[in-house]
Amino acid sequence: MEVSKQKESQFEILSIAEVSASSSDTSFCKSEPVCARFGSGSGFSKLRFGQESETSADIAFDLRISQLFKLGPAESLCISEASEANKEKAYSRGISIQFKNEEESRAFHCAFEQWKTEVVVQGSPLPNGVVSTSKSKFDDKIEASSAKMYFHYYGQLLHQQNMLQDFVRTGTYYAAVIENRADFLGRVVVDVGAGSGILSLFAAQAGAKHVYAIEASEMAEYAKKLIAGNPSLSERITVIKGKVEEVELPVKADILISEPMGTLLVNERMLESYVIARDRFLVPNGKMFPTVGRIHVAPFSDEYLYMEIANKAIFWQQQGYFGVDLTPLQRSAYEGYFSQPVVDAFDPRLLVAPAISHVINFTSIKEEDLYEIDIPLRFTSSASTRIHGLACWFDVLFNGSTVPRWLTTAPGAPTTHWYQLRCVLSQPLYVMPGQEITGRLRLVSHKAQSYTIYLRLSATVGDVLQTSSGKLDLKEPYYRMSQPQAYSLAQDQQPNQLLQAQLQVSQGFEITTNF
C-alpha cells in the first residue's frame, strides 16, 4: 500500500456556507475569508476549511468520498458522502464555496482532483488513474478489461461523431426534447452517460434549470470543452466525470435523459446503469427520456444470407492446405460462424410472420431483471418457405407530456447506426402458410457487457417436429457491410423517409455500433 507524499496545499476562499439537508439544521457559514487546506491525515487525504492561523479545522472532508462541482465561474459545491465516522448524520453534507475569482477556482479544482486521485490509501489505482476505495455495482458485474476497452472506445471523438451523424437517432432525441419543453423547463436534469454532452445541451436549450452531465470516459473533458463553447447554455450544465454508479449529486433530478441503447437494445448493458441512475438520482415519479423500450422479433427467410454464412467455413474443407488437412476444424469453424449474430439492414419482406414484442419499462423495471431476459415465441407463418432464423430490432418511447415520440430501428424505417440484428440458425425449418412456429429467445448477460443469446425455433410438418437451436454471442456480431437497400422505393415509403435514408448514406455513419 503506497501513499504518495505531497506537501500541504493551501487556498484562500472568499466565503463558505454549509448546504443543510433540512431547514431545521443549523448551517455552518463563514462570510469572511477562510483558508482551505489539502493534506493527508489519518492515512488518507483531507480537505479542511478553517482560519489561517488556526491549527484545528472548522470543517473537514475525506477526499476519498468527496466530489467537487462547478456551479459558476467562481462558485463551487463540495459534497461528501455520509461516512462511517459520520454516522450520526446519515446523509451527505455539502459546502458551497465562493472563490475570489475564476482563476482561484480553477486552481482549487485542479488541486482537488490531484489530491483525490494521486493519494492511494485503501484502494488501488485503476488503469485510468482514478482511485477507488470500494468496488461499485458496475465493478462487481463487469470485467475490468471489458470496461477499460468500452470507455476507451467512447473516449474517442470519432465514435461520438458516428452517433451524432446518425440523424434519425439524434434528430429524434432533439425533437423529443424540444417538443416536450414543458418537461424540461425549470427542471433539474441528469444526462446519464453524456458522451459529447449533446443531450445535456438539448435539455439546456429546452430551458432546464440545471443539467448534470455524467460521463465516465475521457469524453467528459471534450464535453466540458463543447459545453464551454456554447456560453448561452454552459452556465446551466455541470459535467461530472465518473460512473453513474459511483458519483454523488447535490440534488435530485426531475428528469433523466440518456441514450443507453445498444444493438438489440440491451447490448453494452448500459440499460442497467440507466436504471441504477433512476434509483440513485430521480425524484419519485420523475420522468425518463426514453421511458420505455421494446424488443421486436420475427422469423425470416433469407437463402442468400444463409449460404453466405455456411460457405464461410468451406475454407476448412481443404485437405491439402500446404500439405495440411484442415478438416478437423471444419465443424468448429462452421459453428463459430453461426454463433455470430448478423448486423445489417434487411428488406422487411424477408419476414415470414408478424413480429412479437417484449416491453421493458425503464421507469419500473428492476436492474436485476435485465440480467436475464426470456421471450417465449409463437408465430403463424404467412408463406411456404424455409425459415433461417429470427430477426430482431427495437424501438424506444419518449413519453413526453406534450408529444410522445418513438425512435425506431425497424426494417423498412429510415436506417439507424444500430441497423437490425438477425440470429441465423444452422438448420433451417420448413413451414407452410398458417403453420405455427414456436420457441424461445433467452438473453443471458455476461461480464463482458453483453449477452449470450439462446434461440430455439420449432415447427411441425406433417407428423414431423423440426427443432433448430443456436447459441450466439451478442458481443461478437458479424457486421455485414450493406447500405439501405433498393426496397426503400416501395409504394408506401414517404418521400421524407426516402430523403432521410439518402441523407444517412451520404453522411455515412459507420456500421460498427459496438465498442
Binding mask 105-144 for ligand SAM (x = CB under 6 A): ---------------------------------x------
Would you say 62 or 245 has its CB closer to ligand SAM?
Answer: 245
User: What is the smallest separation between the CB atom of 138 and ligand SAM, expressed in angstroms?
Assistant: 6
- Binding ligand SAM (rule: CB under 6 A), the pick from 94, 195, 411, 470 is 195
Kindly state whether residue 313 participates in binding ligand SAM, applying the rule CB under 6 A.
Answer: no
Residue 217 has, within 13 A of its CA and on its CB side, a CA count of 23
* Distance (Å) of CA 461 to CA 120, 145, 238, 430, 433: 67, 47, 62, 7, 11
191's grid cell: 444526462
Would you say 239 or 437 has its CB closer to ligand SAM?
Answer: 239
Which burial class, exposed, middle or buried, applies to 495 when counting CB atoms under 10 A from its CB (0-12, 13-18, 19+)? exposed
- Binding ligand SAM (rule: CB under 6 A), the pick from 177, 199, 421, 424 is 199
Would you say 217 or 339 has its CB closer to ligand SAM?
Answer: 217
- How many whole angstroms separate alpha carbon 33 and alpha carbon 499? 61
Size of the site for ligand SAM (CB under 6 A): 21
State the pairing for strand pair 9-13/34-41: antiparallel
Contacts of ligand SAM in 212-231 (CB under 6 A): 214-217, 219
For residue 487, the 8-state DSSP code is: G
User: What is the smallest separation between the CB atom of 345 and ligand SAM, expressed in angstroms?
Assistant: 19
Structural contact between residues 205 and 233, judged by C-beta atoms closer than 8 angstroms = yes
Tell me which residue of 242, 277, 185 sits closest to 65, measured CA to CA: 242
Contacts of ligand SAM in 226-265 (CB under 6 A): 243-245, 259
Looking at residue 495, its amino acid is P
Contacts of ligand SAM in 7-36 (CB under 6 A): none
Would you say 11 or 515 has its CB closer to ligand SAM?
Answer: 515
Structural contact between residues 315 and 324, judged by C-beta atoms closer than 8 angstroms = no
Annotation marks residue 118 as catalytic: no
Structural contact between residues 482 and 345, judged by C-beta atoms closer than 8 angstroms = yes
Annotation marks residue 335 as catalytic: no
Backbone angles phi, psi at 480, to 5 degrees: -95, 105
List 18, 215, 246, 268, catalytic entry: 268
Residue number, nearest CB to ligand SAM: 193
Would you say 100 or 225 has its CB closer to ligand SAM?
Answer: 225
Helix 495-507 / helix 167-179 crossing angle, nearest 10 deg: 120
Kindly state whether residue 166 participates in binding ligand SAM, applying the rule CB under 6 A.
Answer: no
Give the 3-state secondary structure of residue 119: coil
Binding mask 399-418 for ligand SAM (x = CB under 6 A): --------------------
Give the 3-state secondary structure of residue 9: strand
Contacts of ligand SAM in 40-79 (CB under 6 A): none
Would you say 259 or 344 has its CB closer to ligand SAM?
Answer: 259
- How many whole angstroms separate alpha carbon 188 and alpha carbon 319? 67
List 246, 259, 272, 308, catalytic entry: 259
Would you say 107 or 144 has its CB closer to ligand SAM?
Answer: 144
Can you say how many angstroms the Cα of residue 454 is from the centroid of all Cα atoms in its chain?
24
User: What is the smallest separation between the CB atom of 324 and ligand SAM, expressed in angstroms?
Assistant: 44
Interface contacts to ligand SAM, rule CB under 6 A: 138, 151, 154, 163, 193-196, 198-199, 214-217, 219, 243-245, 259, 270, 273
The catalytic residues are: 259, 268
